[in-house]
Amino acid sequence: MSRNLIDFARVAIATGFALRQGGVLEICPVPFLIAVLVRRFAVPEETALRAAFDGPAAAYLRDTRRWL
C-alpha cells in the first residue's frame, strides 16, 4: 500500500511521457517533480495527520510506505 497513490500516478505519467519522447533531457524534470510533491504535499499532510490523530497516525505512517 502507498500513502500517495495520486502523486505516484503523476510521477508515472510524467515518466511515461518523458520516455515516449525518447530523450534524456525530457526525464530530467521528473526528480524535481518528486521533490516538489514530497515537500509541498506529502510532508504537510503527514504533519497534519500526526497533529490530528497522534498515535494512530504514527502507526499508519510507520507501517505504510510513502511511495510504492
With 80 as the cut, is the pLDDT of residue 57 above it? yes
Element (DSSP H or E) covering residue 25: helix 24-27
pTM over cut 0.85: no
CB-based burial of residue 25 (10 Å sphere; 0-12 exposed, 13-18 middle, 19+ buried)?
exposed
Q: How confident is the model at residue 2 (pLDDT cuts 50, 70, 90)?
A: confident
Element (DSSP H or E) covering residue 48: helix 43-63
Instruction: Map grid coordinates 510513502 to a residue.
Output: 66
Element (DSSP H or E) covering residue 33: helix 29-37
Q: How confident is the model at residue 34 (pLDDT cuts 50, 70, 90)?
A: very high
The predicted model gives 21-42 an average pLDDT of 94
